[in-house]
């Protein structure tokens, strides 16, 4: 009986892990160095959001201050801490100020990939984790 319970829990756990959809297509993520200045500390700016010209996608932008060459992660998650997309995944960036820009679907219903609501942009290095929230209307 315990073996069957363990198998059920294991299958349920595996099924739960794979039910989370993560957007791994980073072809529309742009990372560009904007300043040659070396910042004094790590920081993530407020998240800037605007609609594209066709009003079909949000253009979302965040600036990262990186004082030392660092391997980092930058991802977007929902309010339940489910990671929706990796913008930077264990990539090493040199010291400087970088702008990361990406696109998210614009929709007016809850039946789309990124429905209106609150999202978190999480910047993580081996030294700290920093979050900024933003809202899609």
Q: Is residue 69 part of a domain?
A: yes
Return the CATH number at 84. Answer: 2.60.40.2550
Q: State the pLDDT at residue 17.
A: 36
Q: Is residue 73 part of a domain?
A: yes
Q: Is residue 14 part of a domain?
A: no
Q: Is residue 80 part of a domain?
A: yes
Q: Please give the residue range of the domain that contains residue 65.
A: 23-136
Q: Is residue 56 part of a domain?
A: yes
Alpha-carbon torsion (40, 44, 47, 53), positive or negative? positive
Kindly report, residue by residue over 48-78, the tens digit of the pLDDT.
Answer: 999 999 988 999 999 999 999 999 999 999 9
Q: Is residue 104 part of a domain?
A: yes
Q: Is residue 11 part of a domain?
A: no
The reported pTM is 0.74
pLDDT per residue, tens digit, the chain (137 aa), is 544 433 333 333 333 333 344 444 455 789 999 988 899 999 999 999 999 999 889 999 999 999 999 999 999 999 888 999 999 999 999 999 999 999 988 887 667 888 888 999 999 998 889 999 999 88
Q: Is residue 7 part of a domain?
A: no
Task: Tell me the CB-side half-sphere exposure of residue 11, using CA atoms within 13 A.
Answer: 6
> Could you give the number of structural domains in the chain?
1
Q: State the pLDDT at residue 10.
A: 36
Per the document, the length of the chain is: 137
- The β-bridge partners of 44 are 64
Q: State the pLDDT at residue 105.
A: 86
């Amino acid at each position: 009986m315990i073996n069957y319970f363990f198998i059920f829990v294991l299958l349920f756990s595996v099924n739960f892990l794979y039910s989370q959809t993560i957007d791994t297509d980073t072809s529309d993520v742009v990372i560009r160095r904007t300043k040659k200045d070396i910042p004094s500390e790590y920081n993530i700016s407020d998240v800037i959001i605007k609609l594209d010209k066709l009003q079909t996608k949000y253009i979302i932008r965040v600036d990262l201050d990186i004082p030392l060459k660092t391997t980092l992660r930058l991802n977007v998650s929902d309010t339940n801490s489910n990671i929706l997309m990796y913008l930077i995944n264990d990539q090493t960036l040199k010291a400087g100020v970088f702008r990361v820009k990406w696109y998210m679907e614009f929709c007016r219903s809850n039946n789309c990939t990124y429905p209106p609501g609150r999202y978190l942009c999480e910047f993580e290095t081996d030294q700290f984790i920093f979050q900024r929230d933003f809202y899609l209307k």
